[in-house]
Structure 1
Amino acid sequence: MRGTARTVAMFAGISATALLAAACGGGDSGNAANTSAGGKTGGSITVRGCNPQNPLVPSNTTETCGGNVLDASTAKLVHYNAETAAPENDIAESITTQDNQNFTIKLVKGYKFQDGTEVKAKNFVDAWNYAAYGPNAQSSGYFMEPIEGYADTQCTGEGDDPCAGKGKAKTDKMTGLKVVDDHTFTVKTSEKVSNLPVRLGYTAFAPLPDSFFKDPKAYGEKPVGAGPYKVDSWTKNSEIKLSKFADYSGKFGGKVDNITFKIYQDSDAAYNDVIANQLDVTDEVPSSAQIDDKYKTDLPDRNAQKAVGVIQTITFPPTKVDPNYADPKVRQAISMAIDRDTIIKQIFNNTRKPATGWVSPVVDGYKADQCGEYCKYDPAKAKAKLAEAGGFKGGKITLSYNADASHKGWTEATCNSIKSALGVDCVATPVVDFSTFRTQIANQKMKGMFRTGWQMDYPSIENFLAPIYKTGASSNDGHYSNPAFDKLLVEAAAATDPAEANKKYQEAEALLANDMPAIPMWYSTATMGWSDKVTGVKITAFGTIDFASISLK
């Protein structure tokens, strides 16, 4: 997951056998880039950053604060086109399959890590095995689940240490991964997985150099990737410095020599620094600057917007953490009590679109109105639904958010709407920063509702469902579990026809309305601003900065 705070470009369905060439399709990027000519090569830029939740290990980074850094410093088998998100081969020379279950991957020869060693097949196999192995407790280990033998790498015990005693994992290697030679390996999945190649551009699938396994802790502080930029230093709560990797082997390098992620606790402060030319790019324009398009006056010819693969939601806590929200009727009532249209108009100046389901409109397979009446503002129905549940028994409803981004306005407005419709007190509750916020959620210490956002990892309807709502998934913050939902995901992944796969995924999504594990709020439009020192600023389909295009004037 990339938990995030972040016209419409439509993506074509991509089969496994199609992932052999360059990007397909196009799309209207809207006002998505500053296309001014005259940019130069070299120089240094600063961009808004935030505190990563974990050390910078690819398989343990599931949020944007760390993910943005790793996107610039790692290379994967596949690179996603900045404009369309269509997959393009990167370290992979080819990815082939005849049956969507047995895959052969050939690597480009001579591709280098930033420690000078060559990227070889074993670096992928070792990295994916490390991610999967239960005792390593990697938050993205779940992404390896389709690979044969994954289950044997998992701990099966219970309690505080599921890896103790008889719960110990059977092995630290998956049988579905085989090194053929230095530049070839094979992948066998437990079931057919038609979109596996499309997934392989996600950070969790990045290769790891041999040096990682000698000292994983040191790597987490200063990762060694194969991407266009290398991490030089990470000063906690202050900045993360990157510089251009001189021996970068790929086709997706950048123009500037140095990138510094300046860590901010407040998005307004970052925005004001951009206005003052003290910060070169902010990937978040605060809601206060979006009212009446104020940012366009503050930053004339220095701003851009784009519809992106991001959805904002409100997630309910696991029942054992806070049982007051366990009844689906309570959840549905709260959802119907939220006036999305008014909040979007007043807080976001109509730069969002009310969500009618859990999947972003930018991916193939999207289906409107999957949430049905439960995502439509109706105070009378909301109050009646809460009465069916016997009322809210928790005293007051709470909605927590990370205070280092622009969430105060909309969370307070959401609580006001809930309180007005249901007659139950609702309080928007700040948590100091994103790292602390996510840690409380991960450690099951977060009572009450909490804001969640999902930035697609790869362009697929599956990515908006399986990693977030499948039983035991890495980003299943509310610990939702529905065997019927899980079964449909398996059937969808095995379908060889993209249309049939999408139909199954849509059936699975429809089940979410019955249980309401999270409230769909709105589909996001990324808004960025930049200083008058840079040009070529482009928003990717993922809502991130395209570091390949930006340069100094």
Structure 2
Amino acid sequence: MRGTTRTVAMLAGITSVALLAAACGGGNSSDDPSSSAAGKTGGAVTVRGCNPQNPLVPGNTNETCGGNVLDAISAKLVHYNPETAAPENDIADKIETTDNQNFTVTLKKGYMFQDGTEVKAKNFVDAWNWVAAGENAALGSYFFDPIEGYADTQCTGDGDDPCAGAGKAKTNKLTGLAVKDDYTFTIKTTAKVSNLPVRLGYTAFAPVPDSFFADPKAFGEKPIGAGPFKFDSWTKNTEIKLSKFADYKGKFGGKLDNITFKIYQDDDAAYNDVIANQLDVIDTIPSSALIDDKYKTDLPDRNLSKAVGVIQAINFPPAKTDPNYSDVKVRQAISMAIDRPTIVKQIFNGTREPATGWVSPVVDGYKADACGESCVFDAAKAKAKLDEAGGFKGGKMTISYNADASHKAWVEATCNSIKTALGVDCVATPVVDFATFRAQITDRKMKGMFRAGWQMDYPSIENFLAPIYGTGAGSNDSDYSSAQFDQLLKEGAAAKDGAAANEKYQEAEKVLASDMASIPMWYSTAQFGWSNKVTGVKVTAFGTIDFSSLALK
């Protein structure tokens, strides 16, 4: 989420109380020069932004470019602690259950939307019904799958319009949601979901005001939330401006008056602007500045590095789009042909950790080496595995990436490793920007392999599995489907405690390994840099800027 669901634009779990490992670098401790204690109230800052894929509708945003903006202007039932990711009640006063299947949510009174209306129970129920309804084709729909009646809200037809004719959904309302009064609603799930309250801080669960339903498209161009900042303007390909929401009622606000997301087409340009104090915060350091820790010299006392819940992978195209990668042996061969340790050392100066599975090591339940030998570089075994598959029948391999972030060097290095090991041509293929890149993927027009960053949406091992690989999931960009995997997800969600749930999720991850559903590349740390004008720069557990601590000196 950022990600990707938060598909992440750049490179960059946890039980509710688990801590992320801290990495070295300036400005991440409470007593260092970047502490917001010395920061003043008010003022404006600029931060690196990128082109959102879609209009800014909470339930239809599953990537970081739009998600970072929505997180600043939205308030949800739950807020995640920026350092530990522990869920803390925000709009929710209480979320109660006796059986992990029937939940009663009680809201705090007085929370206001930025259009002057009060946040009430119906604003959650109506928003969630809209996102779940198949007719709206919202990317966040899958997050409502656990709620009773979800299957009946889904369209069942094939082709370009699955909602046409007999494929139309039976209803556009979830039977598991009910408004009890202005400040109370209930949730009933089809089976026990022990971590449901933890999920409710994700963007897809944000409420929307009544005005949203009059024109969702117009809302997406000028969104309205109930968070600490309000949306002011969006100049496409240039900037998104926010300002402090005077009537914000929560406890997660900040000192700033204005935030501008400056949209860059090139990470090096953004980085140079930070060095020159023309940009206040950058949330990704280009690979050229990671070599020999150059960024620490360029930005002395103005940088930090922190382990975060982000993983980088390479996805395969859906079989209907490009069948050349459908053979599991071909996929395994490609993975074994990638020299992850050398790429991490040479391109990222050791700031990444080669992945051995699909789940980030910062989440509770992580198990090392889930991928097995398929994620271990071995050129001879890779070539033998490809020979077993009868070779690669697609001519040349391609790996596509968005060209507005620092991906070129590592994608080219990955292609070179594949080419050398397998004897098959591999071409790194740039796409102009993140919005275009994501549109090609979600429209199922992207042939060949493509990069896939994932930022956790909420602090759970399940979030690294279900939204990306569950059948029909909103971020399942490869259209992977396994009945065994889906069943293990259900069993994990219904488990009596965290340990039992983790065992089921670990079994599900083994299914991904046997199918080689994607190619895990590395686990990320976030490198940030900032200008000499700001203080209180902190990275959340999700790898995002903590706007509650950011301030001008």
- Shared fold, TM over 0.5: yes
8 Å CA contact 2:36–2:549 kept in 1: the answer is: no
Partner in structure 1 of residue 169 of structure 2: 169
SS at match of 2:477: coil
- Separation in structure 2 between the aligned mates of residue 292 and residue 286 of structure 1, nearest angstrom: 13
Candidates 3, 6, 22, aligned match of 1:2: 6
For structure 1, the residue ranges without an aligned partner over 5 or more in a row are: 15-23
Per-residue displacement from partner, 1:435-477 (whole Å, max 9, x unpaired)? 0000001111111000001000001000000000011110000
Paired letter, 1:3: T
Q: Determine whether 1:496 maps to 2:496.
A: yes
- Separation in structure 1 between the aligned mates of residue 431 and residue 144 of structure 2, nearest angstrom: 32
Paired letter, 1:370: A
Per-residue displacement from partner, 1:130-156 (whole Å, max 9, x unpaired)? 000111110101101110011111111
Per-residue displacement from partner, 1:245-273 (whole Å, max 9, x unpaired)? 00001000011100000000001100000
8 Å CA contact 1:162–1:168 kept in 2: the answer is: yes
- Separation in structure 2 between the aligned mates of residue 350 and residue 430 of structure 1, nearest angstrom: 24
Instruction: Calculate the aligned-residue CA RMSD, in Å.
Output: 1.0
Partner in structure 2 of residue 49 of structure 1: 49
- Separation in structure 1 between the aligned mates of residue 529 and residue 93 of structure 2, nearest angstrom: 36
- Separation in structure 2 between the aligned mates of residue 211 and residue 190 of structure 1, nearest angstrom: 31
SS at match of 2:262: strand
Instruction: State the TM-score, normalized to the length of structure 2.
Output: 0.96
Partner in structure 2 of residue 274 of structure 1: 274
- Separation in structure 1 between the aligned mates of residue 397 and residue 19 of structure 2, nearest angstrom: 44
Q: How does 1:303-314 map to 2 (within 5 A)?
A: 303-314=303-314
- Separation in structure 2 between the aligned mates of residue 123 and residue 45 of structure 1, nearest angstrom: 31
Per-residue displacement from partner, 1:63-87 (whole Å, max 9, x unpaired)? 0000000010000000000001010
- Separation in structure 2 between the aligned mates of residue 382 and residue 164 of structure 1, nearest angstrom: 45
Offset at 1:29?
3.4
Offset at 1:421?
0.6
Q: Determine whether 1:284 maps to 2:284.
A: yes
Percent of residue pairs identical: 77
Classify 1:217/1:27 alpha carbon distance in 2 versus 1 (closer, same or farther; 3 Å).
closer
Paired letter, 2:277: N
- Separation in structure 2 between the aligned mates of residue 203 and residue 53 of structure 1, nearest angstrom: 15
Partner in structure 2 of residue 240 of structure 1: 240
- Separation in structure 1 between the aligned mates of residue 19 and residue 90 of structure 2, nearest angstrom: 19
SS at match of 1:356: coil
Paired letter, 1:99: D
Q: How does 1:460-479 map to 2 (within 5 A)?
A: 460-479=460-479
- Separation in structure 2 between the aligned mates of residue 522 and residue 386 of structure 1, nearest angstrom: 23
Offset at 1:28?
4.6
Partner in structure 2 of residue 202 of structure 1: 202
Offset at 1:218?
1.6
- Separation in structure 2 between the aligned mates of residue 525 and residue 297 of structure 1, nearest angstrom: 19
- Separation in structure 2 between the aligned mates of residue 463 and residue 372 of structure 1, nearest angstrom: 21
Q: Determine whether 1:329 maps to 2:329.
A: yes
- Separation in structure 2 between the aligned mates of residue 374 and residue 88 of structure 1, nearest angstrom: 39
- Separation in structure 2 between the aligned mates of residue 327 and residue 423 of structure 1, nearest angstrom: 18
Per-residue displacement from partner, 1:14-34 (whole Å, max 9, x unpaired)? 4xxxxxxxxx45555344623
SS at match of 1:262: strand
Partner in structure 1 of residue 151 of structure 2: 151
Q: Determine whether 1:394 maps to 2:394.
A: yes
8 Å CA contact 2:21–2:306 kept in 1: the answer is: no
- Separation in structure 2 between the aligned mates of residue 248 and residue 371 of structure 1, nearest angstrom: 46
Q: Determine whether 1:539 maps to 2:532.
A: no
Paired letter, 1:529: G
- Separation in structure 2 between the aligned mates of residue 93 and residue 37 of structure 1, nearest angstrom: 29
- Separation in structure 2 between the aligned mates of residue 445 and residue 136 of structure 1, nearest angstrom: 21
Q: How does 1:361-510 map to 2 (within 5 A)?
A: 361-510=361-510
Per-residue displacement from partner, 1:210-253 (whole Å, max 9, x unpaired)? 11111212210110000000010011111000000000010000
- Separation in structure 1 between the aligned mates of residue 51 and residue 288 of structure 2, nearest angstrom: 23
8 Å CA contact 2:21–2:362 kept in 1: the answer is: no
Q: Determine whether 1:80 maps to 2:80.
A: yes
- Separation in structure 1 between the aligned mates of residue 127 and residue 535 of structure 2, nearest angstrom: 37
Classify 1:258/1:511 alpha carbon distance in 2 versus 1 (closer, same or farther; 3 Å).
same
- Separation in structure 2 between the aligned mates of residue 101 and residue 423 of structure 1, nearest angstrom: 53
- Separation in structure 2 between the aligned mates of residue 172 and residue 496 of structure 1, nearest angstrom: 31
8 Å CA contact 2:20–2:541 kept in 1: the answer is: no
8 Å CA contact 1:100–1:496 kept in 2: the answer is: no
Q: How does 1:222-261 map to 2 (within 5 A)?
A: 222-261=222-261
Offset at 1:331?
0.4
8 Å CA contact 1:488–1:505 kept in 2: the answer is: yes
8 Å CA contact 1:265–1:405 kept in 2: the answer is: yes
- Separation in structure 1 between the aligned mates of residue 50 and residue 93 of structure 2, nearest angstrom: 35
Per-residue displacement from partner, 1:141-184 (whole Å, max 9, x unpaired)? 11011100111111111111111111111111111001011000
8 Å CA contact 1:29–1:83 kept in 2: the answer is: no
SS at match of 2:270: helix
Partner in structure 2 of residue 185 of structure 1: 185
- Separation in structure 2 between the aligned mates of residue 67 and residue 25 of structure 1, nearest angstrom: 24
SS at match of 2:186: strand
- Separation in structure 2 between the aligned mates of residue 27 and residue 321 of structure 1, nearest angstrom: 38
Paired letter, 2:447: K
- Separation in structure 1 between the aligned mates of residue 72 and residue 238 of structure 2, nearest angstrom: 19
Classify 1:26/1:407 alpha carbon distance in 2 versus 1 (closer, same or farther; 3 Å).
closer
Per-residue displacement from partner, 1:335-370 (whole Å, max 9, x unpaired)? 000000000000000000000000001111111000
Classify 1:36/1:108 alpha carbon distance in 2 versus 1 (closer, same or farther; 3 Å).
closer
Partner in structure 2 of residue 263 of structure 1: 263
8 Å CA contact 1:72–1:228 kept in 2: the answer is: yes
SS at match of 2:435: helix
Paired letter, 2:6: R
Mean Cα displacement is larger for which, 307-316 or 145-154? 145-154
Partner in structure 1 of residue 22 of structure 2: 29
- Separation in structure 2 between the aligned mates of residue 394 and residue 171 of structure 1, nearest angstrom: 43
Mean Cα displacement is larger for which, 66-75 or 26-35? 26-35
- Separation in structure 1 between the aligned mates of residue 325 and residue 214 of structure 2, nearest angstrom: 45
8 Å CA contact 2:20–2:362 kept in 1: the answer is: no
8 Å CA contact 2:18–2:363 kept in 1: the answer is: no
Paired letter, 2:330: V
Q: Determine whether 1:345 maps to 2:345.
A: yes
Mean Cα displacement is larger for which, 84-93 or 27-36? 27-36
Partner in structure 2 of residue 522 of structure 1: 522
Offset at 1:320?
1.1
8 Å CA contact 2:308–2:362 kept in 1: the answer is: yes
Offset at 1:36?
6.5
SS at match of 1:3: strand
8 Å CA contact 1:399–1:450 kept in 2: the answer is: yes
Q: Determine whether 1:69 maps to 2:64.
A: no
- Separation in structure 1 between the aligned mates of residue 517 and residue 439 of structure 2, nearest angstrom: 20
- Separation in structure 1 between the aligned mates of residue 328 and residue 108 of structure 2, nearest angstrom: 50
Offset at 1:35?
2.6
Paired letter, 2:68: N
Paired letter, 1:2: R
Partner in structure 2 of residue 17 of structure 1: none
- Separation in structure 2 between the aligned mates of residue 179 and residue 310 of structure 1, nearest angstrom: 36
